[in-house]
Amino acid sequence: MLAACGSAPLQAPVSSRPVGAVTVVGGEDTGDLPGPIVQARSRWTAVRWAELPGLADDALHEAWNAWLKSCEKPGPVFAPLCGEVRRLSIGAPQEQLTWLMARLQPYRVESLSGDPGNLLTGYFEPVLEASRTPSAQYPVPLYQIPLTLAQRKPWYTRQEIDTLEAAQAALKGREIAYLADPVDALVLQIQGSGRVRVTEPDGSQRLVRLAYAGSNEQPYKSVGRWLLEQGAVRDASWPAIRAWIAQNPARVNELLWSNPRTVFFREEALSQQDAAWGPKGAQGVPLTPGRSIAVDPGSIPYGTPVWLASSGPQITLQKLVLAQDTGSAIVGAVRADYFAGSGAQAGELAGRLKQPLRLWVLWPK
């Protein structure tokens, strides 16, 4: 399903020709290039800034917001730059770009084996309605970590949680809230967190975030792949999966149980300020919609600024992003999950996003 990605790089404007709000100045792009850098699962090859497509057109201040978050928990390589990053948060676009080109060196990310495999997918933060107490309208529980999780690894499968008395007894009293739809619960678990508007027993409502707390440590199995293997769908996007569910309501449990992994949550208060950001990623900082990506940390360290280029039927992206998260399915050198934001519109993009990808890390000189 992945289209081939051409090998010839797209050329960004060079020399002194202005494009958009900034000018890419060729003077910063001269001299010998440094040698390659090898990571556990990738090889970085130094390139000139002119190789980065769309360099002059990006709204860099949006990426700066994500970079400021990374500077709350910077790694040793980028910590020395954080003072300058903070100062430039109010800088003009040209000043930000000039600083990038002076202080950082772009490296094209490649597979160690030369494998051309590259893939961009998307994820998002669902926004759901829930009840603090179970009812006919809200029968699907979301759980905290069970107290016996450490005593049994892997823990019960998703099907066993739904059907075995022992599993249900271990989860009794660990319920956080109840959803209306078991498929929404699955989506929430796959995404790892979400915003939930909870109706309390007294009828009041409050918006909270359910954040990832752990899993049953069973293997993750894609329900989309299960449907493809069944020959039930030709498109494994979430819109196609939901269409199949609508036509096959009696097989919902069969679909759900094809993925044995279950995720447990913790409830977090969601202030008005917190609501502007996504959940915390693996770096430990809140994600920024459209500017945070999940990566394989064996390929790209957390907190690294990355130039991302991807073109496909859903969206064209040429922009600066920050590597701030990871996921069990995000494995490989040129592999990323794009954080689309919160809510239905972000979910629509994330559910369909599957297209070729190129990545360049921006590393201190």
pLDDT tens figures, 12-34: 222 222 323 344 444 444 468 99
Q: Based on the fold, state whether residues 150 and 265 are members of the same structural domain.
A: yes
Cα(362)–Cα(37) distance, integer angstroms: 12
Residues 6+ away with beta carbon under 8 Å from 267 = 176, 177, 208, 209, 210, 211
Is residue 301 situated within a structural domain?
Answer: yes
pLDDT digits (tens, 9 = 90+) for 272-329: 888 889 999 999 999 999 999 999 999 999 999 999 999 998 899 999 999 999 988 8
Q: Based on the fold, state whether residues 182 and 289 are members of the same structural domain.
A: no
355, 312 Cβ separation under 8 angstroms: yes
Is residue 2 situated within a structural domain?
Answer: no
Q: Based on the fold, state whether residues 29 and 143 are members of the same structural domain.
A: no
Q: How confident is the model at residue 237 (pLDDT cuts 50, 70, 90)?
A: confident
Is residue 7 situated within a structural domain?
Answer: no
Task: Give me the amino acid identity at 258.
Answer: S
Q: How confident is the model at residue 114 (pLDDT cuts 50, 70, 90)?
A: confident
Indicate whether 115 pLDDT > 60: yes
Q: Based on the fold, state whether residues 92 and 236 are members of the same structural domain.
A: no
Q: Based on the fold, state whether residues 209 and 247 are members of the same structural domain.
A: yes
Number of compact structural domains in the chain: 2
Is residue 224 situated within a structural domain?
Answer: yes
Is residue 10 situated within a structural domain?
Answer: no
Q: Based on the fold, state whether residues 300 and 259 are members of the same structural domain.
A: no
Predicted TM-score (pTM) of this structure: 0.82
Q: Based on the fold, state whether residues 136 and 213 are members of the same structural domain.
A: yes
Cα(164)–Cα(8) distance, integer angstroms: 56
Task: Give me the amino acid identity at 129.
Answer: E
CATH classification at residue 79: 2.40.40.10
The stretch 162-189 carries a mean pLDDT of 97
Q: Based on the fold, state whether residues 66 and 160 are members of the same structural domain.
A: no
Cα(290)–Cα(32) distance, integer angstroms: 34
Q: Based on the fold, state whether residues 208 and 250 are members of the same structural domain.
A: yes
**Which of 226, 250, 275 marks a domain boundary?**
275
**Which of 237, 259, 275 marks a domain boundary?**
275
CATH classification at residue 247: 2.40.240.50
pLDDT at 31: 61
**Which of 217, 249, 275 marks a domain boundary?**
275
pLDDT at 117: 78
Tokens standing for residue 114 = 């030369």
Q: Based on the fold, state whether residues 135 and 90 are members of the same structural domain.
A: no
Q: Supply the range of the domain harboring residue 255.
A: 123-275
Q: How confident is the model at residue 60 (pLDDT cuts 50, 70, 90)?
A: very high
Q: Based on the fold, state whether residues 229 and 303 are members of the same structural domain.
A: no
Percentages of the chain per state (helix, strand, coil), in multiples of 5: 30, 30, 45
pLDDT digits (tens, 9 = 90+) for 93-102: 999 999 999 9
Q: Which long-range contacts (CB under 8 A, 24 or more apart) does 87-91 make?
A: 88/64, 89/61, 89/64, 89/65
Q: What is the mean pLDDT of the chain?
A: 90
Q: Based on the fold, state whether residues 91 and 205 are members of the same structural domain.
A: no
pLDDT digits (tens, 9 = 90+) for 123-155: 999 999 999 999 999 999 999 999 999 999 999
